[in-house]
């Protein structure tokens, strides 16, 4: 299986692209602040999922990269909170994006808790 077929990857990539489109409309003064931060964190979710999949031979590395992905996903939620508070996005858009982000988080956590289902050998016992 290719990492691009992972549901968590597909959904996180879709979310990052939606965020990219929305941030095109943010004020110019946010270009090096909110815009860059939310784009970076949302894209890092997918990037870390793809890296984790390539490191699945080693359980600790697989879980570590997924943990990084989960952290970036949470950071993205924080930037969405700022976007809402600054009135750059409306409540409906916020709710949709947060819902997608929470779904991505659930998928990432499923991968963390079930590494053997993703080809990880020698799974750690917690």
Q: What is the pLDDT along the chain (126 residues), one digit of tens a residue?
A: 789 999 999 999 999 999 999 999 999 999 889 999 999 999 999 999 999 999 998 999 999 999 999 999 999 999 999 999 999 999 999 999 999 999 999 999 999 999 999 989 765 555
pLDDT at res. 124: 55
CA neighbor of 5 nearest in space, from 125, 122, 119: 119
Whether 109 contacts 85, CB under 8 Å: no
* Domains, the chain, with CATH or none: 3-116 (1.20.1440.60)
Instruction: Report whether 6 contacts 48 (CB < 8 A).
Output: no
């Amino acid at each position: 299986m290719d990492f691009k077929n992972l549901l968590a990857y597909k959904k996180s990539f879709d979310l990052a692209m939606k965020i990219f489109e929305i941030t095109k409309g943010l004020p110019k003064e946010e270009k090096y602040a909110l815009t860059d931060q939310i784009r970076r964190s949302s894209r890092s979710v997918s990037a870390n999922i793809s890296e984790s999949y390539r490191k699945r031979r080693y359980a600790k590395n697989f879980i570590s990269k997924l943990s990084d992905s989960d952290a970036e996903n949470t950071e993205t939620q924080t930037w969405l909170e700022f976007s809402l508070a600054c009135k750059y996005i409306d409540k409906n858009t916020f709710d949709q994006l947060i819902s997608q982000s929470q779904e991505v988080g659930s998928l990432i956590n499923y991968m963390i808790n079930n590494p053997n289902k993703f080809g990880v050998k020698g799974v750690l016992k917690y």
